[in-house]
Structure 1
């Protein structure tokens, strides 16, 4: 007798159901679109139980999130569970529930392939486990993106028509108005503030002084609460806020659409005569916009600080007194400023660079040192003197464009340090310059097979007056024995927060954190600083701490409870 073997059970496939709805309208209902999507997907998974499919109980629902971005909370949780190996397949009602962007979909596919994850669409019947399914999916995603872009164009056209009809559709209302039923209504209390700003703009020589006066009077920007409950605005008015207010035609009854003005359906709160007077004052006080010219900033793209940060070209000054400078300030205001800011006057550093380079070409001994790095032993001093003299003579007669070409040719970079200016020269380019005498040589000619050697020219530049001599206003490195006020204040605030928590144990940590204007996570990190070793606390107060210890490093370090490990992590073990 032969016994028939039982068929092997299929491998289990753990299916995560993902649902999404673009708007949050209707999410408060007992049964909404997300529930309908999930019910259909769950039924599809159940129909494939014979293949080993099993629905996971975790819900991944994104209500009120656009398909044009991957920044969605439920989607992030889904990716985290995929990386932890808890999911084998992602099931959704339709491909546009996952994403409407072809670029985002390609990134999703690439990231999910290494985990062996399959995408399954219930209504479009495809599976990405084979090449045909992936091709069909790409076609569907392309049309989904096309539909999204068409929808975006229709919305833009609709908003443009509404503006031409005099309706305000630009989000939150400006100071002086409230938005009721989609229309602007005058807020008399705020309108008086706006009228006062327009009437007093001529009483102050600069907007900055007007800003200081408004700040002393407690005038603040328009405040409103977002859908998520977050308060936006309500901050002291800065110069930018005042400039935007003064040039806004909304206050005289117009809606701006591109470069055109259209008569609005709201009531104006400023007389046209007063508004015109304010615009005339703005025009008189405005600074002339300087056309961009690379040769005007000779070291643009070539100058760096000693921390490896490029220095950006910027302008400053008031009235007709304008000056240029190179600035290390990061353009992203959210970036942590752990390093000292470096700002140098552009005209002065350019003058010092030019003078130092001219002196270099007059010093045959220094030029020979640079040539020896290329193993040029056969070049005699007399020959170098003639070549360098030719270059120096031409340099003295060159225009700014020609000088810029020379800098691009021979400089690796120009570095600004605390008490030093460093000119780093490419030795192979220097040899080519001496041999040809040309400041602007074709790149193909310049890129010869020469050893990548560099020569350093160092200039002491720790001078006094920023307007008369070369000045590097860089904050000096912290010395031992000089307390860092920011570190001391941070430590004091940590103990203050701890005492506050101990006095309010019945309240949740999130509510206590709001009192200190911090999130719960950072508030917890702040309290954790009170567990620093006593000798470390004393060292911070006395100023005997490592140079690289900053408030950012202290609060965001994964601080251990063991005191010796704290000393090692924060660098106190190096102090002896």
Structure 2
């Protein structure tokens, strides 16, 4: 009982005093293999040594923190093993304690302290509900050096001891704090090394044309070797998303149309990610590099850029009059390629609606667009119920257009003077515009012509018919129209 034990190579001296022996136990007996029968606890050790172990201290309040990341779960890193080791330590080296509080973060990385149970534990520490925290290893707490020192400062400030069972340390001594700092540096180095190796491996996969992420994107299928191929069953969904986005449909409307057409549910935030995924036009971007062989293009780059431009433009509010702008988000400027925004103006107590290019500082009246486009829309759709009437108007238009060509040829061959040419051209164009205006009287929806439709019906008709159109603002003319079911049509 009064024998002093000296271990020369370990540089350890154990005196037969209870208070000192408790500290040495933390240093020398951290891994105990015990059985349910034939074993004894720490109190029995003191009894055998004849040391008075009675204490009037309050029961110690202990928290046990366990963590395992998603990757470690796949490697069999067990939460139960951590809990058992921490409980063994607690029972061996504590005389009297309250039942421990377990803080378990399963499937969380140590790269940040933003973990549910970690935040709860730190709050309990600040509320002074704990005296000691027991962890399996220091890297269960964090792998970040700055976070380690932040936690140590918090523990010290709130008189909470930290014990790492497998690392043989606690922070009640200066040496313990030093070792904690050193281990934290190595833990962070190990984490960063793993990240670097993982990133190198994933980049190598992408260089080989394989998809380096988990799962696969909508529109593609992934084989066992992680190569992507276009899935012809779901690829049409992707094409439709880009098509409707280019046509100016809100994401909420696109979601409804996709559900109606393909019976496939998509959230609006996911559709936005799809629109801004470079891989859909064949340029898969990963960790700052572009890999052209990972994802085959489902849509063209031009179509993808146009859809993004439209989605970004939708942030411009039209207010309560949004249905008054029949061609909103569909008109681009021929000069700069920008999408035209809608602006209303008042003239003599009457309201007019214009489409305006901020960059070119030019605009075009909506009525003028409707006047120019209506005959083209009707001839394009070519419905049987007004085909005969439209054909009669077209014959008149074709006759006037032939006359324009004849006059232009005569003028080029010097058979007409400048004054005569201008007079004839103005007269023919006036007749041509009147003839085109007749299209506005053709009944296109539910027995009503364009002028009889409500603003909502006009907007809906344009939405279903026209994808985009290009306008020459200086000449106030429509240059190109692109319809949903066909290629672009030059005017």
TM-score category, normalised to shorter length: 0.3 to 0.5
TM-score, normalising length: structure 1: 0.39
The structure number with the bigger radius of gyration is 2
Larger relative contact order (CA 8 Å, sep ≥ 6): 2
